[in-house]
Structure 1
Amino acid sequence: MSTVVPVYFVSDSTGISAETMGNALLLQFPKVPFERHLRPFVSSVADAEQVRAELDEAAAGPVSPIVFLTAVDMDVRATILQTRATVIDFVSDPMGVLEQQLGVPGDHAPARLHSVADSQRYNRRMAAVEFAIEHDDGQSVRAIEKADVILIAPSRCGKTPTSMYLALMHGIFAANYPLVDEELEGEVLPETIRAVSDRCFGLLTSPQRLAAVRGERRSGSRYASMEQTRWELSRARRIYDTYRIPYVDSSTKSVEEMSTLILQTLGQRGAAC
């Protein structure tokens, strides 16, 4: 399936739980491209009506959206459930089962669903962001063994935004390291990260796109020339092949799509261990 499917995470709090549970399901469909939208803090019926209108407008498009809902307030949830879009409600069915089993009604308090999990996830994400900042562009290799993934690529291939997205959205400890002329010439990994080559993930792009991006910073320079970008990208690909490092072409995918591929690879590696 090549048609992009819009996905909405709707919550009466931060939306972290909706994203976490929703993305866990979406990862089971790696061939389907998704366009993700977060709608947090939908805490009143008025807020819910605005979101429902947005969902109905999207549902009138070529592909009806999928909605992951974690609102606990019954009126908010009832409003969202009136949309023409497909809604996966993570609260109503589980809540009903629990109320029947326990013999008492839940109090349906907004944000209570998120309190403990959000605190733990927030702390994890903030630690991951700090790690990504410290280990951006090879500035530091201190505690590099703690990295879940190390993004490597020639300059301006998208390492920093991807590592920051992984940290902020998924709590992944992501470092990134540039491949400079010395490594590219010898077709070797930087010596400081060879011991953790099993955690490396490569990025590529097209020579044209890389030349255009570099030209915004150094127009007319050798650094931004087509000859240089072709050479660097071909050498980077050889390094990935030599060290059996998975890689993705950032010229054809969004940061969200690249992050999904990286997360899938991390999951496969973990399952193999």
Structure 2
Amino acid sequence: MTARYAFFISDSTGITSQTLGNALLPLFKETQFHKVYLPYTDSIEKADEAIRQINEAAAKTGAKPLIFDTIMNPEIRDHIAQSKGSLMDIIGTFLPSLEKELGSVSSYQVGQSHDNPSGERALIRMDAVNFALENDDGMKTRYYGDADVILIGVSRSAKTPTCLYIAMQHGIFAANYPLTEEDLNKGELPKSLREHKNKLFALTIDPSRLSDIRQQRRADSKYASIKQCAWEVKEGLFLYRKLGIPTIDTTSISVEEIATQIIVQKNLQRRV
């Protein structure tokens, strides 16, 4: 397996460059990518530091680092292009074609693709993220009425990262509740969830993978044993099917894919 560096550079948060790069790189399975993230590269001085790191990576591996950039300032973008990396210029690739098609000149504004930190959309994101954190892991259930979606599943089935991703990327209010052994033994939802059944979406996972994840948290415990994990997953699936709760297997797909399927299946409206 060959090794290459991949740099994600932006004069704002870098979310756009990361999203595109992380969607494309897994398609090249024979290459191991070492990823470097450089957000807020918004001056020539910071660009010089980025160039230094890129050139060091090139010297270390003997191969051109890949550069995914969403830099709006053409001067900074052209400066980084002088490095020993291979530039995948997202803005420069698509913007000229858009300007030609629309018959209009674009406005170069830093952070426009993911809004200004003081903007209304940023505030929506912050509210959604705060909601996800405050309603994580079943800590609070009295605000479930405000949730757009409530993720349920056994412990360590990717509920929290999915909620945070949905909140950050889409401004969707997502809560999550871990089904306990007591819940599964009863074979029914707790009262706090029954009242919001239409908002539920279940995450399941392969028992072996679940055991591996739990071993990192509580090694050699009943909680992490393959027997316990297999039982919880089986009982959870039985409950979801009995109640008609939509379900997705998170074993081998990314958080981005999980979130997209939830949004589509629940017909959730993105706020940002």
With normalisation by structure 1, the TM-score equals 0.69
- CA–CA distance in structure 1, aligned partners of residues 185 and 240 of structure 2: 14
- CA–CA distance in structure 2, aligned partners of residues 230 and 115 of structure 1: 41
Which range moves more in the overlay, 92-101 or 213-222?
92-101
After TM superposition, give the deviation of residue 8 of structure 1 in Å.
Answer: 6.1
After TM superposition, give the deviation of residue 11 of structure 1 in Å.
Answer: 1.6
Do the aligned partners of residues 181 and 164 (structure 1) sit closer, same or farther apart at CA in structure 2, a change above 3 Å counting?
same
Contact 1:52/1:79 (CA < 8 Å) preserved in 2? Answer: no
- CA–CA distance in structure 1, aligned partners of residues 163 and 36 of structure 2: 20
Unaligned runs of 5+ in 2: none
Give 1:202's aligned residue: 202
Contact 2:158/2:250 (CA < 8 Å) preserved in 1? Answer: no
- CA–CA distance in structure 1, aligned partners of residues 173 and 28 of structure 2: 25
What secondary structure sits across from 2:267 in the alignment?
A: helix
After TM superposition, give the deviation of residue 234 of structure 1 in Å.
Answer: 0.6
- CA–CA distance in structure 2, aligned partners of residues 229 and 213 of structure 1: 10
After TM superposition, give the deviation of residue 144 of structure 1 in Å.
Answer: 1.2
Q: Which amino acid aligns with 1:49?
A: I
Which range moves more in the overlay, 183-192 or 135-144?
183-192
Residue 93 of structure 1, aligned match among 92, 96, 99: 96
Contact 1:15/1:39 (CA < 8 Å) preserved in 2? Answer: yes
Give 1:3's aligned residue: none
**Corresponding position: 1:258 with 2:255:** yes
Contact 2:152/2:203 (CA < 8 Å) preserved in 1? Answer: yes
**Corresponding position: 1:175 with 2:175:** yes
Unaligned runs of 5+ in 1: 1-5
Deviation per CA, 1:123-150, whole angstroms, max 9, x where unpaired? 2222122111221111112231332332
Contact 1:154/1:179 (CA < 8 Å) preserved in 2? Answer: yes
* CA RMSD of superposed structures (Å): 4.3
The alignment-based identity, stated in percent, is 31
Deviation per CA, 1:17-57, whole angstroms, max 9, x where unpaired? 6568x59xx6xx9x969998743112224145357658979
Give 1:157's aligned residue: 157
After TM superposition, give the deviation of residue 266 of structure 1 in Å.
Answer: 0.7
- CA–CA distance in structure 2, aligned partners of residues 258 and 265 of structure 1: 11
- CA–CA distance in structure 1, aligned partners of residues 196 and 56 of structure 2: 45
Alignment of 1:68-147 (within 5 A): 69-80=69-80, 83-89=85-91, 92-93=95-96, 97=100, 101=104, 108=108, 111=110, 113=112, 117-118=116-117, 119-147=119-147
Give 1:248's aligned residue: 249
Do the aligned partners of residues 217 and 32 (structure 1) sit closer, same or farther apart at CA in structure 2, a change above 3 Å counting?
closer
